């Protein structure tokens, strides 16, 4: 299609229609961002009509090109494009922009609107998610089928996207990996919310991206031929491409163009009227789509369906290829049969083992059954135990399953989202738990979108020892547990770690954070104590009281063994003590009340929670009469055993606390 | 001093001494990072003996140059330098490296060891904090006294620092601001934890920094003359400078040099012995400081004292200058008298007002009294109301009090730490509460270091309306409250906002986060209800029950007025209802139990907490029989009033819930 000359007259009419649809939607909502849709309309027009291989009636077609609106505040532009090109998004939805229960929320939300590829709004995220999508495409193309997955990722970015560190991290990795399937367009409009970008942003962006190894092109934002040629050139280059388009915020609005006033508020009735006059439209009419524009734009439907059919045909023709058959089965039917049959079983006799080590063993047992499981670490693979043994690295020109993210936790989080958007892939990423703080924005977005990346967070408490308080998580557990729709699992030993991985893999609709110890932990003797399968319910009775139930010890992770030891001491004194392992609050809270009360009988009010992390939130389980043995400050630098003792995490201290409570 | 020729023989002996001290310390601790100290010893030697204007006996001298070890894992290098140049850090402390209660923790900790300028370890943070320090120097130099504050900021950075997004954001701003007082040295050792840096990092760093507007220089890491000349050149340039030093991790260790094995574990007894042999030292002796080296290095003490005395003299000579006198008074005696006398008093009759708006008014009333109060926003100043009216912008060559951070929340957080390290300055920074997620690592470090930047977090709940779930905080309040030593205040109205600012300014030993509404809130009639001063205790009785106390409503921020309305409804039904405003959990929890029980009488178990955020943690206040009206999911995009109703935040819903609980 790209070889056709541009019908300039029809293009202009279409572009003005896009501009005004977006401005009308914002005006109607009395809220939103008209300026960016107006400036970016020519680019969006060219992309959707001449470059994107998309099929409006098959928005989930795996072989489609992806378009990301990284500047998510320009959502009215995206909705206008989706409506005009025939996606299932009516004009009424555009008129209900930013209203409750509409499909046109303030920022694009994945899963909410057909054609929205990822949730954007927090700047930089879309930019970095796109890099993950491009890596996913590269992986499928090299590992499954080259032609079927030769799709590209396009993104529209603003100044803010380029100022955010997460985009810088991701751009550096994209250049390193030579992701030629990336075509990014940057709206260089010289305006930010506080005024001219020159207030805070005077770097030479083009040079910076050249330094990353990108191709950099320039175009005038209103020059269709220039933009079109730049996109064509970007598609052909083996490097990722950044097209710097000099645009004008609020383009077409006589008094607000090039002003921050066009950014985050409706144009206002009078300015919108003047804009319509300037564009030669009826100033009194709103949401107008000329017939010629309608016909021209909806041609995307048939064109897209033909592309889709051809792809589907190719898929069917080649389904004898084992890689492709595998992929198709996973995408259409879910995880392959028997994927969890070869997992290690840990025996207490094997002696103590760090849960991070157990995690590495389980991961490597899973890998052969799950060819679309891939991931890595933010340069801590040997510590996180995230390497898939015998598998190749994800390198430029060779997409193995071991990804080296570099020291880029934030980009890793966003890239995992991009990989999770890729049909069939199960991505994971590791770092120290403390550095989950660097990647909260993409974790939150994964939870919001219902994506299911797996986070391997090791070195989970002061138990990491000498590295000291900068590396010792205290509040990170609470901060992760507070995120809606994220499952956090802190296994007590190697056996619970196996189960945690099983849960994380099986859970394909929300993200899971595995919280693992650096230090060795006893492997709990499951002949004497409750089976690790109990962890699937979030919490379970690990050790039943002998005699009457007098005290309840509730713990997670490394503190569970401590609780078991304390229980032995207490039972020796005749104090009937139960130990509950509570690796996942989210999973436990989802259980029926009956089960929860069976595990934590309301009749037993003497409850002590033990966790080497902030006490924040534990009141939920210990109740008014209970107590919490936890961290009330940052940690310190010393060998782990000394630190745990110093901060009160010993069996003797736990037992003493219970005795004191009994008095 | 720089003009003296380098005594190469003595220099080599000193450098080898540094290398071996660090390697011995790591070996003794059986934990730590020997490789980077060994490679960076020549640079550290040159800095501490020939460039840094420092005075080991006056580590807090305001006019000193700052040295930041951004690669904090190389702490053994810093401790060796501090010991050798005569700081109050004994050899025994070096021998107690990474042990409990030593002054030599695993990563450098500010306030813990004299001569440690900031806490580092989480990569990228030191890099960005240094930018804030350089801005602080620039500010003091231009606003207070040019000569007294012409100090420079030096930093030593690793690959990891340069890969982190926070450093990219900060570097872009530093180039923009032309911070010529920055001299950064980058250890280009080609090695990361996972292996060769080429696994994930192949960008042209030099070009990238040129794009930011930095001077970039190169030197061989073992070539003293080259490094020395590069530093001299960096000091003279009006741009920030990056010196790329090609170094070799583990330099001097015969079998581990240039290997990741030299990074994060002791060399091992045998390799350390071989290293000593290779360096011509006694292989059996540890912690050896040759006399000549001792004499040579401790010359820093007298040299430094002379510099310090000269500076002090100049300070005394010029103390008639009003700016300088002001600065001195603040640094020596604290906040100026009467600083809180001109704050606005808000009257209920003024009608509803967003707390973000009140915050802007208070901030502008404070500014004239506090000339060292400075700050800004990550490109949301008009929304955060963080502009100091009539004050100049912080620009290249003109350091006004209004800082334009750009869309760089993470760097803003770190820069605020650097500003807070600068004697006398009171820095603040604003963004939307949701984007506190982008800046958690520096917030945590501020809390750990006991620095007191002020965060202005506006748009604090679903009450922001149409922007939708990507912009609506849910779990952010809990996540901030979980950070030890951070004070979070969510004022209920304009009057509590005034008080919150007073607390934040008065609090010079820990950071404060102000959590403010976008939407208008009633100004509570303080004639009818409790005085806003109660907020100073974190929580207080805002409305006393009429008749017997039957129900307790506990709320913060925008939900307090809702609770008052609900109380009116409940009282009309004869239900004695108390409303407690709880703007700050941390401050309330610090009150004596007596006060807390007076506010929340244990006898009243019918408690309902109301907060438009995650319920996480509220169990602490409502107890076993209480309930929490909060968010259990992400928000949605719609006008605020509809959203609040939709998610159950209406007076009627609150009252109904209480009635239901009474049944």
Encoding tokens for residue A347?
A: 């025996």
**Closest partner CB to B381 (pick from A122, A194, A393):** A194
DSSP A382-425: HHHT---TTPPBEETTEE-SEEE--S-HHHHHHHHHHHHTSTT-
Chain B positions touching A29 (Cβ under 8 A) are: 466
Task: Give the span between the Cα atoms of B39 and B17, in whole angstroms.
Answer: 13
In sequence order, the β-bridge partners of residue A354 are A520
CA dist B67 → B64, B81, B152, B479 (Å): 9, 11, 9, 32
Q: Which of B300, B191, B288 is nearest to B246 (CA)?
A: B191
Chain B positions touching A122 (Cβ under 8 A) are: 434-435, 438, 470-471
Chain B positions touching A377 (Cβ under 8 A) are: 194
In A39-181, DSSP assigns E strands to 66-69, 153-157
Q: Do A617 and B614 touch (CB under 8 A)?
A: no
Encoding tokens for residue A51?
A: 């470059």
Residue A644 contacts B, CB cutoff 8 Å = no
Residue A1 clears pLDDT 60, i.e. is over it: no
> φ and ψ at B242, to 5 degrees?
-115, 120
Query: What residue in A sits closest to B395 (Cα-Cα)?
Result: A199
Structural contact between residues A521 and A561, judged by C-beta atoms closer than 8 angstroms: yes
β-pair type (A398-399, A394-395): antiparallel
Encoding tokens for residue B216?
A: 């970039």
**CB-based burial, A617-643: b 16+ in 10 Å, e otherwise:** bbbbbbbeebbbbbbeebbbbbbbeeb
Q: Do A200 and B404 touch (CB under 8 A)?
A: yes
Q: Do A407 and B448 touch (CB under 8 A)?
A: no
Interface of B with A in 383-412 (CB under 8 A): 383, 393, 395, 404-408, 410-411
Residue A165 contacts B, CB cutoff 8 Å = yes
Look at phi and psi of residue A533 and say left if phi exceeds 0, alpha if psi is from -120 to 50, else beta. alpha
Query: What residues contact A35, with CB distance under 8 A and at least 6 apart?
Result: A191, A249, A250, A253, A256, A262, A263
Q: Do A201 and B176 touch (CB under 8 A)?
A: yes
**CA dihedral of residues B583, B588, B594, B595 (deg, nearest 10):** -40
Q: ipTM strictly over 0.95?
A: yes
> How many interchain CB pairs under 8 A, A with B?
338
Binning pLDDT at 50, 70 and 90, where does residue A206 land?
Answer: very high
pLDDT tens figures, A378-411? 999 999 999 999 999 999 989 999 999 999 999 9
User: Angle, nearest 10°, between helix axes A205-212 and B205-212?
Assistant: 170
Query: What is the separation of C-alpha A548 from the centre of its chain, rounded to a whole number of angstroms?
Result: 47
CA distance B408 to chain A (A): 5
DSSP assignment, residue B376?
A: E
**Closest partner CB to A31 (pick from B31, B466, B634):** B466
DSSP assignment, residue B287?
A: S
The pLDDT of residue B192 is 87
Interface of A with B in 609-628 (CB under 8 A): 614, 616-617, 619-620, 623-624
The pLDDT of residue B434 is 98
Run of H or E including B265: none
H-state helical runs in A186-223: 205-212
Task: Give the span between the Cα atoms of A86 and A76, in whole angstroms.
Answer: 16
User: Angle, nearest 10°, between helix axes B165-176 and B205-212?
Assistant: 40
* Regions of chain B with pLDDT less than 70: 1-3
Q: Which of A213, A121, A561 is nearest to B201 (CA)?
A: A213
Half-sphere exposure of A207 (CA within 13 A, CB side): 14
Rg (CA), chain A: 28
Mean pLDDT across chain A:
97
Handedness of CA B20, B22, B23, B25 (dihedral sign): positive
Interface of A with B in 290-309 (CB under 8 A): none
- Strand ordering across the sheet containing A627-631: A540-543, A577-581, A551-555, A607-614, A627-631
Q: Do B172 and A203 touch (CB under 8 A)?
A: yes
Query: What residue in B sits closest to A393 (Cα-Cα)?
Result: B199
Chain A positions touching B163 (Cβ under 8 A) are: 169, 172, 379, 406-408
**CA dihedral of residues A93, A98, A101, A107 (deg, nearest 10):** 100
Chain B positions touching A202 (Cβ under 8 A) are: 175-176, 213
Query: What residues contact A642, with CB distance under 8 A and at least 6 apart?
Result: B100
Run of H or E including B78: helix B75-84
Chain B positions touching A481 (Cβ under 8 A) are: 616
Interface of B with A in 167-226 (CB under 8 A): 167-169, 172-173, 175-176, 192-194, 199-208, 210-213
Query: What residue in B sits closest to A623 (Cα-Cα)?
Result: B624
Please indicate, yes or no, whether the overall pTM of this predicted structure exceeds 0.90.
yes
In sequence order, the β-bridge partners of residue A220 are A246
Which class for B4: exposed (0-12), middle (13-18), buried (19 or more C-beta within 10 A)?
Answer: exposed
Q: Do B637 and A107 touch (CB under 8 A)?
A: yes
Q: Do B468 and A98 touch (CB under 8 A)?
A: yes
Chain B positions touching A636 (Cβ under 8 A) are: 100, 105
Q: Do A406 and B192 touch (CB under 8 A)?
A: yes
Query: What residue in B sits closest to A643 (Cα-Cα)?
Result: B100
In sequence order, the β-bridge partners of residue B169 are none
CA distance B301 to chain A (A): 29
In sequence order, the β-bridge partners of residue B195 are B192
Chain B positions touching A617 (Cβ under 8 A) are: 478, 482, 616-617, 619
Chain A positions touching B408 (Cβ under 8 A) are: 163-165, 200
Q: A469, A511, A585: which to substitute to probe chain B, counting the most B Cβ within 10 Å? A: A469
Q: Do A98 and B160 touch (CB under 8 A)?
A: no
> φ and ψ at B244, to 5 degrees?
-90, 110
Interface of B with A in 424-483 (CB under 8 A): 434-435, 437-438, 440-441, 444-445, 447-448, 465-471, 474-475, 478-479, 481-483
Residue B98 contacts A, CB cutoff 8 Å = yes
The pLDDT of residue B3 is 65
Task: Give the span between the Cα atoms of B215 and B209, in whole angstroms.
Answer: 7
Encoding tokens for residue B96?
A: 């107690």
* Active site (catalytic) residues of A: 409
Q: Which of the residues B109, B117, B222, B409 is marked catalytic?
A: B409
Structural contact between residues B484 and A634, judged by C-beta atoms closer than 8 angstroms: yes
Task: Give the span between the Cα atoms of A378 and A456, in whole angstroms.
Answer: 11
CA dist A190 → A245, A249, B174, B388 (Å): 11, 8, 19, 24
Encoding tokens for residue A588?
A: 């436990």
Q: Do A381 and B469 touch (CB under 8 A)?
A: no
The pLDDT of residue B1 is 47
């Amino acid at each position: 299609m790209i070889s056709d000359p541009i019908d300039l007259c029809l293009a202009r009419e279409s572009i003005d229609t896009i501009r005004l649809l977006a401005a009308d939607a914002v005006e109607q909502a009395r809220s939103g961002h008209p300026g960016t849709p107006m400036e970016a309309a020519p680019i969006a027009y060219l992309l959707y009509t001449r470059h994107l291989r998309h099929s409006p009636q098959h928005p989930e077609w795996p072989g489609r090109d992806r378009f990301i609106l990284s500047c998510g505040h320009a959502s009215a532009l995206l909705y206008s494009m989706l409506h005009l090109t025939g996606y299932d998004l009516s004009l009424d939805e555009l008129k209900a922009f930013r209203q409750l229960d509409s499909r046109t929320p303030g920022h694009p939300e994945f899963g909410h609107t057909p054609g929205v590829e990822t949730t954007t709004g927090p700047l930089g995220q879309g930019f970095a998610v796109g890099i993950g999508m491009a890596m996913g495409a590269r992986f499928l193309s090299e590992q499954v089928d080259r032609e079927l997955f030769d799709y590209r990722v396009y993104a529209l970015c603003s100044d803010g996207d380029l100022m955010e560190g997460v985009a810088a991290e991701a751009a550096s990795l994209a250049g390193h990996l030579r992701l030629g399937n990336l075509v990014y367009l940057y709206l260089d409009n010289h305006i930010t919310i506080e005024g001219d970008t020159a207030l805070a942003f005077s770097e030479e962006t083009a040079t910076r991206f050249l330094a990353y190894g990108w191709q950099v092109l320039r175009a005038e934002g209103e020059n269709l031929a220039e933009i079109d040629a730049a996109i064509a050139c970007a598609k052909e280059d083996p490097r990722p491409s950044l097209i710097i388009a000099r645009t004008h915020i609020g383009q077409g609005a006589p008094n607000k163009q090039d002003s921050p006033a066009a950014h985050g508020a409706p144009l206002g009735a009078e300015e919108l009227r003047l804009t319509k006059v300037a564009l030669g439209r009826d100033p009194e009419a709103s949401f107008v789509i000329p017939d010629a524009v309608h016909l021209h734009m909806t041609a995307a439907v048939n064109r897209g369906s033909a592309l889709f059919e051809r792809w589907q045909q190719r898929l069917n023709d080649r389904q004898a290829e084992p890689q492709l058959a595998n992929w198709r089965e996973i995408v259409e039917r879910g995880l392959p049969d028997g994927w969890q049959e070869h997992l290690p079983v840990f025996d207490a006799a094997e002696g103590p083992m760090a849960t991070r080590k157990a995690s590495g063993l389980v991961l490597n047992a899973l890998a052969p059954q799950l060819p679309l499981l891939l991931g890595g670490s933010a340069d801590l693979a040997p510590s996180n135990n995230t390497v898939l043994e015998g598998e190749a690295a994800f390198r430029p020109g060779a997409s193995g399953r071991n990804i080296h993210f570099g020291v880029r936790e934030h980009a890793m989080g966003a890239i995992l989202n991009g990989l999770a958007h890729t049909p069939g892939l199960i991505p994971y990423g590791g770092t120290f738990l403390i550095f989950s703080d660097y990647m909260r924005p993409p974790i939150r977005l994964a939870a919001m979108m219902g994506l299911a990346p797996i986070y391997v967070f090791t070195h989970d408490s002061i138990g990491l020892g000498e590295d000291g308080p900068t590396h010792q998580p205290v509040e990170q557990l609470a901060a992760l547990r507070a995120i809606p729709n994220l499952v956090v699992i802190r296994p007590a030993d190697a056996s619970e770690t196996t189960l945690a991985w099983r849960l994380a893999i099986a859970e394909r609709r929300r993200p899971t954070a595995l919280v693992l110890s650096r230090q060795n932990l006893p492997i709990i003797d499951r002949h004497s104590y409750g089976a690790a399968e109990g962890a699937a319910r979030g919490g379970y009775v690990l050790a039943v009281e002998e005699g009457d139930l007098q005290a309840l010890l509730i713990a997670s992770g490394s503190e569970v063994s401590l609780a078991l030891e304390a229980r032995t001491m207490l039972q020796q004194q005749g104090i009937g003590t139960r130990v509950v392992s509570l690796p996942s609050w989210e999973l436990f809270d989802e259980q029926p009340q009956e089960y929860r009360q069976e595990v934590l009988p309301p009749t037993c009010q003497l409850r002590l929670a033990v966790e080497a992390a902030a006490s924040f939130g534990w009141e939920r389980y210990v109740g008014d009469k209970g107590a919490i043995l936890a961290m009330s400050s940052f940690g310190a630098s010393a060998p782990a055993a000394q630190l745990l003792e110093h901060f009160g995490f010993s069996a003797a201290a736990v037992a003493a606390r219970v005795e004191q409570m009994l008095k």
